[in-house]
Amino acid sequence: MHLIQIKFPVFVCRYLERRHVHPVATSGATACVGGGYMYLFGGHARLGNVNDLYRLDLNSLEWEKILPENATVNDVPSPRDKAVSWYYDRK
């Protein structure tokens, strides 16, 4: 993962060591930031679209995979690419 800090007029990039849990490489994933976390959902991976949900703690820079409790197949969003997400009113 690369973290980009914008300091005008140049970009400063630093490589972050990967932790034990991290998302698979995807394109077209959706992400939003709120409550000290960045949430990452879906996207297109090498074998097709995914419906994984991860969150990155912006303080410790550690990933956590979020799994629904007692969920059935009908409770989980279908795999998707280029979805939209937002964080509003702490939800």
pLDDT of 37-82, one tens digit each?
Answer: 999 999 999 999 999 999 999 998 889 988 877 777 677 788 999 9
pTM, two decimal places: 0.73
CA distance 60 to 47: 30
Residue 8 has pLDDT above 50, yes or no: no
CA distance 27 to 42: 9
- How many other CB atoms are found less than 10 A from the CB of residue 52? 17
